[in-house]
Amino acid sequence: MTHTLVLVGQPLPEGTEASATTILSALDVSPVDGRVLSVGRASELIIEGVGDRESNIIAALREALPEIDIALMPSENRCKKLLCADMDATMVVGETIDELADAAGIKDKVATITERAMRGELDFEQALDARVEMMTGLVATEVDRIASSLMYMPGAAALVATMRKHGAECILVSGGFNRVTSVVRDHLGFNYDKSNILEIDSDGKLTGRVQKPVVDAETKRATLCERAEMLGIALSECLVIGDGANDCLMVEQAGMGIAYQAKPALKTVTNLHINHTGLRTALYFQGYSDALISEKL
C-alpha cells in the first residue's frame, strides 16, 4: 500500500521536501513520486514502506519540521464525499458564547468555563447550562448582532465551496446556537446545520435555558453517521474537522478526522493536525491543488 505525505507551510520553507525525504530515508521509507499542490505552500510525496508506522513517522517529521502542518495517510480514498465541521474556533474565529457573555458583561467568567469545557475538563451539557443561565435577560437580538459580525477562519469559504463543487455534502454541527449557525451556514454555503436552540421569552429576551436534548459530542457523532447513511456513503468517505473535546467522537469516526488549532484532548484521537495554516490545508490533505480550489460557490 502506498501512502501520501502532505507538507503545508505559510510559506513552505525552501528545502522542506528534501529534509522530509532525508528523514523518511532514515526510517527506511521510500518516496516514489511527488507533486506541488500550491507553489511555495504545499506539496506531497508518494511513499512506500510505511506499514503500521504512521504515528512514529509523523512524530519524527513534526519534531524535525515544527512549523509545518503534516499529514500521512493511505493514498487511496483521500478525496471525501461529506464534510462535517464544528463551528466555533473552527469555521469562525473565537467562541460565540463568549461574545454573548461579553454583551452581558460577564465574558471573563464565561470564557473560563468555555475553555475548560473545550479541554474536556467539564461535562459539556452542564457547562453549557451554567453559561446560558448566566445570560438570562439578555436581549436575543444580541445573538443576531454577533452572528452578523463574525470573523471567518482563513480558508473556510474555500473548503466548503471546493468540496461542494466536487460533489460533497457539507454540514455544520455545533454546540453553539442555531441563530448563529444558520448565518454561518448561509454565508459559507453549508447544506445543513444542527446546533442548540436558545429559549426566548415573550419580551424577546433569553430565558437562561436551551432546548433539550442539547447538541453534545454524541449528537455530533450521531449526526455524522446519519448523514453518511442518508448519502449512502461509508464513514471512511467522510472528513470531520473540529477543535475541542466535544468533537472527539465524530473525529474518531471519520475516514479523515482533523484537529484544527485544537485542544490537546482532540489531538490525542487523530494524527491529522492543522496547527500553523488555514482551512485550505484540509483541501491539500485531500489532494486538491490550487488549480482545483474555488473561493466561492
State the catalytic residues: 86, 88
- Name the residue type at position 260: Y
Query: Going by C-beta distance under 8 Å and a sequence separation of 6 or more, which residues neighbour residue 116?
Result: 122, 127
Structure-block grid coordinates of residue 159: 473548503
Residue found by looking up cell 474518531 in the block: 252
Question: Strand pairing partners for 236?
Answer: none
- End-to-end CA distance of the chain, in Å? 35
Burial 258-285 (b: 16+ CB within 10 A, else e): bbbbbbebbbeebbbbbbebbbbbbbbb
Structural contact between residues 51 and 138, judged by C-beta atoms closer than 8 angstroms: no
